[in-house]
Structure 1
Amino acid sequence: MAEPTTAFSLLIPVYRADDPAHVVRAFTSSVQEQTLPPAEVVLVQDGPVGEALAATLELLADGSPVPVVRVTSPTNVGLAQALTLGLARCSHEIVGRIDADDVSLPHRFATQVPLVAGGLDLVGSGMVEFEDDEDVAVGTRVPRTGQAAIEAYARFHDPFSHPTVVYRRSAVEAAGGYEPLGRMEDYWLFVRMLEAGARVDNVVEPLVRYRVGEGAYARRGGREQWRTEVALQRAMLRIGFTSRGQYVRNIVVRGTYRFVPEGVRRVAYRILIARGGRGARR
């Protein structure tokens, strides 16, 4: 029997608000610095960008040690559609994700890709959060591990950090792919993958450094985010992923979270969400 391949595509979406220096760091950390580098990079430009970012994308593509596939949308179509466009151009079954302002640790793909090549459909990891200096952590996201624990937790909260995932393209497509849903298109995709029988896991070790930008906690609250929350919960109930009781609990708990003051939201996030609902740790 042939050995499972570890060749994979790296999918990076970029749009006009991305800082060119951050994009360079995300690219180099996920390509040049990896002990298991991608076989190709699919770089999706979501709409028009400024001159500085456009020049940066050209330099990255020209200087890359692996082939770079450029995908450009003439208008800003949003993350879900940008990722759909990118997935269609990925040459490999295994696809790794990184956002344009985050940092992959050097052994990230050497850790995750063999797990997917060995039979899993999706593997996420822990994350270290930082603000300006990537070497100064301001928080850690500790994920649930194991199929049963992940499926149970997914009925209350997103069990994967989207910038950390490596998945099978066919498993994403079998679940219907990315669908626009505010800032929750990733959670909605993962729910549908689990409902479709995807085999999943997380690596507890933080393999990605996640940049916490200004306004990160403000964006998790407000009326628009509440409307998205309700839409997600209704969708999960509709496909039978959650029960009526879980739906009510989620609307009350997660809905209330959207309207508490930003400072309270920050503390609640640290205690209940970033650490996988386990409570604070020393």
Structure 2
Amino acid sequence: MPTPKISVTMPCYNCGETVHKALDSLLGQTCGDFEVVAVNDGSFDNTAGILAEYARRDSRIRILSIEHGGVVAAANAAIKAARGRYIARMDADDESLPGRLEAQSRLLDDSPDIGLVGCRIRFGGCRESCAGYAHYVDWTNTVVSHEAISLNRFVEFPVPNPSIMYRRECVNEHGMYRDGDFPEDYELLLRWLEAGVRMEKVDEELLVWNDPPTRLSRNHPRYDVDAFYRIKSVYLARWLARNNPLHPVVHILGSGRITRKRADLLLAHGVKFAAYYDIDPRKIGHVVNGVSVVDRNDIPGAGEAFCLPYVGSRGAREDITDFLRGRGYELGRDFIPVA
């Protein structure tokens, strides 16, 4: 077989109810120069049979069967077997819209400085019962440029994993997914950004991101909120060491229990807190573990403090950003959001 331009890597585990839709969406792409590397990760339902049937119908579908080792092992096995110049990720419960591979590969063709591309995504779940996930999807669709992705990397995962396509050189130089007590996809993105990989999104909806109850991010402890903050803190501390002119001292926006719990993870990495800032008069004036809670209006002037907004309630990030910018603070220079 000729070497394809694009390899779509797809871990498959007990996905017999959904994988046919994922494969149909790939076989319906406007770009035909691709292969699908589907890794059957020890499934015990009818996944293997479905994959075999699709492979008989279309030679672009290649199947690897491995003992069940989890999504990281399956994803890395697919990457190792991929032959394409560009490598895309696809989950077996999602659907790629017809122009996805063409649009993403074109962006990589036209922009040699970009290493990884994503796209805007369409939420495929119930917005009423899964409102949190839906709001997250809406937020990711506002983060399109490299600058936006870079400056929002510590808020949430800005480029959903099933939507990515990247150059083979990126994985060769910066490594595949790592296994651990953290979300492997978020860790990879943070690691590649730290290494200088430029990332951009095609400003179009190109993926339907479904939200079944069996989705790993809903059920596995490596994807819970605490796991995200643990790995986030590792990379945030290193980012601060390079970018905070007042390092290791930071000023924390927010003083609630959850804010303090998450911010405290930085202390193990040598970061020091000058103060917490709040707008709640019941908290102002308190001292927590030797750190004072100060009225937000008393924050130092721009250039005299580096701030980390840790308040994650809806609308709070925007409010804090507007407040800091009104005081002359510049995103990335004087503050970076982390919730």
Q: Which residue of 2 aligns with 1:135?
A: none
1:155 and 1:241 in contact (8 A); partners too: no
> Superposed, which structure 2 residues align to 1:1-282 within 5 Å?
7-16=5-14, 18=15, 20-30=16-26, 32-50=27-45, 52-64=46-58, 66-74=59-67, 76-118=68-110, 119=112, 120-131=114-125, 139=134, 140-141=137-138, 142-182=141-181, 184-214=183-213, 219=218, 225-237=224-236, 240-242=238-240, 252=259
1:122 and 1:165 in contact (8 A); partners too: yes
Query: Who wins on radius of gyration, i.e. which is larger?
Result: 2
Deviation (angstroms), 1:10: 1.0
Deviation (angstroms), 1:108: 1.0
How many residues are aligned here? 250
> Which AA in structure 2 matches 1:94?
Y
Matched-pair identity in %: 25
In structure 2, the gaps of 5 or more residues are: 127-132, 242-247, 264-311, 323-339
Deviation (angstroms), 1:252: 2.6
Deviations for 1:83-130, whole angstroms, at most 9, x for unmatched residues? Answer: 111111111120111100111111111111111223221100111112
1:6 and 1:117 in contact (8 A); partners too: no
Deviations for 1:169-210, whole angstroms, at most 9, x for unmatched residues? Answer: 220232221112456211110111111111210123211011
1:130 and 1:209 in contact (8 A); partners too: yes
2:7 and 2:37 in contact (8 A); partners too: yes
Q: TM-score, normalised by structure 2?
A: 0.63
Deviation (angstroms), 1:235: 2.7
Q: TM-score, normalised by structure 1?
A: 0.75
Q: Which residue of 2 aligns with 1:261?
A: none
Question: Which SS does the other structure have where 2:144 is aligned?
Answer: coil
The separation in 2 between residues aligned to 1:25 and 1:144, in whole angstroms, is 27
1:182 and 1:225 in contact (8 A); partners too: no
Q: Is the alpha carbon distance of 1:28 and 1:249 closer, same or farther for their aligned partners in structure 2, counting shifts above 3 Å?
A: farther
The separation in 1 between residues aligned to 2:313 and 2:78, in whole angstroms, is 31
Runs of 4+ in 1 over 4 A off after TM superposition: 215-218, 220-224, 242-251, 253-256, 268-273
In structure 1, the gaps of 5 or more residues are: 133-137, 257-267
The alignment's C-alpha RMSD in Å is 3.7
